[in-house]
Each structure stands twice: as structure tokens, then as C-alpha cells.
Amino acid sequence: MPTEEELFASVDALLGEEPQLPPPAERARLREAAGITQARLAEALKSSTQTVKNWENGRSEPKEPRLTAYQRLLKGWAAKYPAHGAPATTPAPAVAPAAPQSVPETFTGPAAPGTAEPETEAAVPVQAPVAPAAPKGPVRPATSSRRPARKRVVPNIAAAPYQHGPLAVLDGDGSAYGVDGIVLDCPATTIVELVEWTLKESGLGAPRLHRYGKDSDPLIVLTTAAAVKLGLPASLEDRRGLRLAEDHPVVKQVLKAKWELTKRGFGPWARIYRKAQGRDRQCVQLAILPWDALDTRSWPGVTEEEMAPADIARVLGVYAQRVITPRGGTAVSGLELMTALRPPTRPVRDEETGNWVQGHNPGSLGTEPVPPAPPEARPEHPVVVGSGWTGGFVNEEAYQWTRDVDLLTGEEASLPYAAGLDMNAAFLASSARLMVGLSEPEHFVRPKFYPKVPGSWLVDLSHIELDPRLPSPFTPSGKRPEGPAWYQTHTVAYAQELGYNVEILEAYLRRETGAYLDPWHDRLKTAYVDTLADLGVTKDLTDAEFLAAMEDHKQTDPAMAAVLAAIKGTVKGGIGKLFERPQGKDYQDGEEWPAMKRPTWAPWIRNAVISKARVNMHRKMLNMAKLTGMYPLAVLSDCVVYPTASASPLDFLPYAESGKPIPGAFRLGPTPGLAKLEGVQPMTWAVDLMEQGYNPARHIKGDGHDAVLDDGE
């Protein structure tokens, strides 16, 4: 017989057990029975889609606090959707819902072969009691059939205005493919009808990302067939202006209906709007695929030739949910995301009238452009031309450096490999907790240097002599400075960190400062990490598993690979848009240009991001030299090439005896700021390029595609 002590120990063990979950297959069945996607469940549990997939295929188990919440959800679904027999009845809620969200009817057609008929639609939180409108158009859950099974619902746009997601891809048959497999019937035959259907009946759009911001306007993506059906040409003849002629019938039709177009006109990313009445916006964004709205460099594979409309909707929908509803190219979206997360205004009370008015939102760039200091501009800027400035300019750009081939040692030249390491989203990593100036610059003569004060500093760093096998941290070329020059704070602070005295000659500083890019960094970092996880590259992998996962992650899911590329393009392009220079052959120095009139035209912020990224790169290279004795052959922005005895970074990166990476040097991993293997080539190949004056880092991938300088342009 067991003793009392043994029994108590057994009971205590039971009490200490974690909540029990149903088997993985049952978890998936319950979720599907409830009509909830893995992405939606992940959002509810503040997790990633890949994590939910892992729970449902048995690869991993949830941990607290998600475990108890997940168990509670599964128990609720199990009561409603038992494995056998009719659904169990559920008690009436204590408080009746304010308004019904959808009244599903019976299917008017059979489900596609091999697919289960969908359950009723999930309820959407309502804002106020609203009488349901008459049915305008059926919503259809997408299946593998060309004609998906229909499901009619009573739309309730006023109560739940964005119930069908941020966007839809319209084909020539009037099917509008949205997120999570939804398909809407769009009866529009003209652009004007499409705009009115989108605003009144589609239920498309997205809520604001900040309490003081604006909701995202609905996006309709037109396939070639849809564009032609609506009266648009299949190709855009004006390849320079990228817009329809003002006398085109569609443009005249839009204007006749009292709608307006932005100054960009009717181009690949057309915005059609009426001036807002109070808080009600009337604006629809169109993206026209046959007019190259989606640049294949930022959206690889997202073309009509390679993806069906439903798949394009999936790619753009995930991007919209994780980043922002696209408003143009990824560079434009990157800039729009900054403003959406740091709105320029907020409601403030007028002390004289007591009324609420729009006032400056602290921490934002405001509603008016802030002028650059002369050294933060370029020769063509009115500030420079008008003042006759000749004092030089800040030159904070990404690295383009190749070591002098004469500095290679015989031992290095005899090594078999040249291995390239690439920093994940280096500019995104450097934007974290980055203090930048937000107000107008003020000029100071011989001020004391403060390493935590963002600004532009004139200082002579030419006396600093470092190992020539490393690039200089003070210039993009990696060459030693030749005299006094303007630098951003991080560059000067790094000279001080290396132990050198810095004497400032002049400075331009700003009194109002803030971590303007923090929410932008946080949202994009989460999007980047979650999308990599969808591709099987998760943070819990060992370094060896990480390298293996990265080898074929793009083939795991081409749609998610395209989302990942778009996120990278959003980072790079968004930073580049902070300093957009004039375009057009007719431009004259001293004239204003459109980009500089934006409140987000802030070259000093771009300087800060790139300066910090370049300094971070040098610090890691310096630590690598100290820890391993290895020196780089070349650097291109965030890619560095080393001569190595092994093709695997596991053999040449510094690890402690415990097996953990040594802090300070390059480390492998999926998060921004960590490294991945960019490519490996024979050492003889690298030396040959160096002798010809080429940068091995540009070609280290060896896939026929040269690396593009990741300088934020």
C-alpha cells in the first residue's frame, strides 16, 4: 500500500500539471468548425501564424499565459462543435449584442470537391445598434473551384465598417478576392460604380494605427481583365508621366461624377476621393496590376502570370495587416507608416474659446516641413543656394569598401573560402530607440560634444589612425578622413568611444528631440519576425537549424516570401524617402521640389539611421578582429565578406565554451541586427575581383543577381 506521503505527492503533481489540451488534429478541427483562420487566432492570442500552425501539427505546445487562454477557447468551441452529432446548444448571453453582424443563408451552390462547407461567419464587434441593410451582394468563401460556393450575408457596414478586411483583388468576372479567403461579388462596370460600391457596400478598409490618426482607405487591386472591363487600357502609354491623359474617358467620367484625383493623376496607384465631411472620409485607392503597380523588386512573384487573384490578395492582405494598407510602392508605404504611427496633430482645447482644435502632437514631425541645416542639405537646396553656403555637407552613407589587395596576407590568400555575412534589416535595427531632432536647427560655434544629443557636428577626425585592414568608421568609402568634415552624432560618439578626443568646431542642433521612429521600428520588426516564422525560420532554432532553414525559406511559401521582401523594401524605401532629391531634367538649383515640401522630408533623420548602422557594422568587425583575428575583405552596406577556412559560419564565428555566441561580434539569428549567411565563393574568386577593383560583397550571392547598395535610396 502507498504511504500517505506518496499519495499527497501524487496529488500535488496532478494539481501542478498544466491545463490539458485536445490533440493537435482536434485543435485544428475546432478552429475550422468555428470558421476562424490561423492568422485570426494568432492575432487574438498575440502570437504568430506559424506558432498556431505548430500547435495544430504537434510541433510545439503553447506556454502560459497563452496556454490557459487557448484552452478556454477550445473548450468553448468543443461545446458548440462536438466531434459527433448535432452542435450542442449554448446558453443565451447575459447581455444581448447591440446589432446582428451577419445572417447567413443556405448555400446556393455546392462546395468544391474535397472541401468542407463553411460554417457561419464569426461575429464582429459592433459600435452601435444599426438596422441591417438589405442584401446587396453575396460574400463567398474562396475554395479551389473557379466558382466558389456562395454564402449570402446581410451587410452591416455602418456597424462594422471594415468587416471584410483592408483590400480586395478584382478580376474580370466581378469577383473581389479579400483576406482570409473571402470573395465578394462586385457588380461595378465603371470606375465610378466601383468607387461607390467600395465605399457603400464592400466593407473594406482598416482602422487607424494610432488614436489620433486616420483609418486606412480601402484598396482595390485591378487585374488586367478587370481594368479593361472598367474602361482602362491594358497598358499605360505614358511611361514617363505614368498617368492617363486628362481627356481620357475614364478621367472625364470620374470628374463628372464630382470625384477628384490627387496631383499624381490616374496612374498605377490612383486615389479617387471627395473632400471629407467631418470625420467621414470618402476615398478609394486603386492599384492597377497591368500598369506595374507592384514592382517585382519589392513584390517578387506577385504578378498575374505567377499568382491567382486570391493569392495576390493573400500577399497584400498579410502585408496590410502586419504593416499598412499599401498606398503606393513600398517606399511610399514606409513613409506613410511613419505618419500613421506618429500622427502630426491631436485634439487640444483652445484656452480662449474652450473648443477642441487640432494641435501639434508631441514626438511627431508636425504638419509643416522643417528646414534642414545647410550641411544637412545638398547643393541644389534653396537653403544652400540662398545662403551661399560653402561649408560642406554631411556625408553619412552606407559602406562601399574593399580592402587594398596588397594588404592581404599569404595566410589569408591561401584560405579556401570567402564567406559573406549579411545583417538582417540593418537600418531597421539602427532605428530602434534612435533619438532624432524634430524642430528647426540652431547654429553653435565650438560647443561641447554631447554623445546623446542628435545633431550635425563639424569636427576633424583625420588624425585618427586605425588598422588599414578595417574600413574607417567615419566615411562611406572606408578611407581615412582628410580634414574637418560634418558628421552625425553617432559617428562622432564612436570616435570618442574608441578613445579619441573630439573638438567640435561648429554644430547644428535641435532643441526638440524624440524617438520618432520607435513605433515604426516596433511594428516592422514584429512583421519581419512573424513573416520569417511563417517561412519556418523561428527564434527558437539553433544556429545550425537557422542556417538550414534559411537555405530554402523562400521556397517554403512564395506568398510569404513576397511579403518578407516587401517588408524589407518598406524599411529601405521608407528611410530613403526621408531625403528625396529633385527629379526631372528641367529642375534648376535653388528651386523647391515636391518632396522637400513634405513634413516627413527630414535628411537629418536619414543621416542618423545610416550613421548608427555603419557604426554598428564597424563595431562588430572590430570585435571580430579582437576575438578571432579575422579581417574583412570587403563591405557593401550591411554585407561583409571574410576569408575563411570553412564554408560554414558555425566554424568561424566566435562561440563560448558553453556553445553560446560571444556578444559584440556577428551573431546568427532571424531578428533585425543579427546575421545570416549571404553566400560563399572560392577565395581565388574574391581575390580576382579585388585585383580588378570590384567589391566581392556585391557578387557574393553567386546567383547572377548583384547585391543592391542598401543605402536607403
Measured distance between the N- and C-terminal CA atoms of the chain, rounded to whole angstroms = 78
User: How far, in Å, CA of 323 to CA of 337, rounded?
Assistant: 7
Do the beta carbons of residue 246 and residue 265 sit within 8 Å? yes
User: How far, in Å, CA of 312 to CA of 320, rounded?
Assistant: 12
Confidence of residue 35 (pLDDT cuts 50, 70, 90): confident
> Around Cβ 389, how many Cβ atoms within 10 Å?
16
User: How far, in Å, CA of 598 to CA of 620, rounded?
Assistant: 36
Is omega for the bond preceding 65 within 30 degrees of 0, making it cis?
yes
Domain boundaries, given as residue ranges, for the chain: 4-80, 139-327
Return the sign of the alpha-carbon dihedral for residues 446, 451, 457, 458.
positive
Does residue 10 carry a pLDDT above 80?
Answer: no
Confidence of residue 585 (pLDDT cuts 50, 70, 90): confident
Does residue 448 carry a pLDDT above 70?
Answer: yes
Do the beta carbons of residue 326 and residue 294 sit within 8 Å? no
Place of cell 534589416: 425
* pLDDT at site 242: 86
H or E element in which residue 8 lies: helix 4-15
Q: Which residues contact 232 (CB under 8 A, 6 or more apart)?
A: 191, 222, 244, 250, 288
Task: Name the 3-class secondary structure at 459.
Answer: strand
The three state secondary structure string of 401-413 is EECCHHHCCHHHH
* pLDDT at site 88: 42
User: How far, in Å, CA of 138 to CA of 494, rounded?
Assistant: 61
Place of cell 533619438: 435
User: Using alpha carbons only, how large is the chain's radius of gyration in Å?
Assistant: 29
Closest CA to 636 of 378, 431, 426, 467: 426
Alpha helices in 459-557 (DSSP H): 489-497, 518-534, 543-551, 553-556
What value, to the nearest 5°, has the Cα angle with vertex 674 and ends 668 and 680? 55
Q: Which residues contact 654 (CB under 8 A, 6 or more apart)?
A: 624, 627, 628, 661, 662, 665
* pLDDT at site 61: 82
Q: At 181, list the grid cell.
A: 479567403
At residue 530, φ and ψ (nearest 5 deg) are -65, -35
* pLDDT at site 7: 58
* pLDDT at site 542: 95
Q: Which amino acid is at 175?
A: S
Model confidence pLDDT, tens digit, residues 58-86: 777 888 788 888 888 998 888 888 875 44
Model confidence pLDDT, tens digit, residues 526-568: 999 999 999 999 999 999 999 999 998 988 899 999 999 999 9
Does residue 151 carry a pLDDT above 70?
Answer: no
> Around Cβ 63, how many Cβ atoms within 10 Å?
9
Q: Which amino acid is at 396?
A: E
Alpha helices in 91-231 (DSSP H): 191-200, 224-229
Do the beta carbons of residue 395 and residue 485 sit within 8 Å? yes
Confidence of residue 158 (pLDDT cuts 50, 70, 90): low
* pLDDT at site 69: 87
* pLDDT at site 463: 92
Level-2 CATH architecture, domain 4-80: Orthogonal Bundle (1.10)
Model confidence pLDDT, tens digit, residues 557-571: 999 999 999 999 999
Return the sign of the alpha-carbon dihedral for residues 473, 479, 482, 488.
negative
Q: At 678, list the grid cell.
A: 549571404
User: How far, in Å, CA of 455 to CA of 447, rounded?
Assistant: 12
Confidence of residue 139 (pLDDT cuts 50, 70, 90): very low
User: How far, in Å, CA of 498 to CA of 712, rounded?
Assistant: 27
User: How far, in Å, CA of 290 to CA of 288, rounded?
Assistant: 6
User: How far, in Å, CA of 694 to CA of 688, rounded?
Assistant: 9
User: How far, in Å, CA of 505 to CA of 484, rounded?
Assistant: 9
Place of cell 482644435: 357
Do the beta carbons of residue 333 and residue 519 sit within 8 Å? no
Task: Name the 3-class secondary structure at 54.
Answer: helix
Place of cell 556578444: 663
Q: Between 127 and 202, where is the model more confident? A: 202
Place of cell 460574400: 139
What value, to the nearest 5°, has the Cα angle with vertex 524 and ends 520 and 525? 115
Q: Which residues contact 495 (CB under 8 A, 6 or more apart)?
A: 459, 461, 464, 473, 474, 502
* pLDDT at site 135: 35
* pLDDT at site 364: 94
Mean pLDDT estimate for the chain:
86
* pLDDT at site 193: 97
What are the DSSP calls for 276-306, one per residue?
A: EETTEEEEEEEEEGGGT-S-TTTSTT-STTT
Task: Name the 3-class secondary structure at 179.
Answer: helix
Average pLDDT over every residue of 472-480: 96
Confidence of residue 156 (pLDDT cuts 50, 70, 90): low
Task: Name the 3-class secondary structure at 71.
Answer: helix
Does residue 310 carry a pLDDT above 50?
Answer: yes
Does residue 116 carry a pLDDT above 50?
Answer: no
Bridge pairing between strands 182-185 and 139-141: antiparallel
Do the beta carbons of residue 212 and residue 347 sit within 8 Å? yes
Return the sign of the alpha-carbon dihedral for residues 688, 690, 696, 698.
negative
Model confidence pLDDT, tens digit, residues 621-673: 999 999 999 999 999 999 999 999 999 999 999 999 999 999 999 999 999 99
What value, to the nearest 5°, has the Cα angle with vertex 418 and ends 417 and 421? 130
- The region of weakest confidence among 23-32, 226-235, 427-436, 539-548 is 23-32
* pLDDT at site 480: 95
CA 241 to chain centre: 28
User: How far, in Å, CA of 155 to CA of 132, rounded?
Assistant: 7
Closest CA to 338 of 564, 521, 525: 521
User: How far, in Å, CA of 455 to CA of 383, rounded?
Assistant: 17
Does residue 395 carry a pLDDT above 70?
Answer: yes
> Around Cβ 661, how many Cβ atoms within 10 Å?
16
Does residue 115 carry a pLDDT above 50?
Answer: no
H or E element in which residue 332 lies: helix 330-341
Average pLDDT over every residue of 74-103: 52
Task: Give, as one character, the DSSP assignment of residue 650.
Answer: G
* pLDDT at site 108: 32
Task: Name the 3-class secondary structure at 557.
Answer: coil
Closest CA to 165 of 240, 228, 216, 127: 216
Task: Name the 3-class secondary structure at 171.
Answer: coil
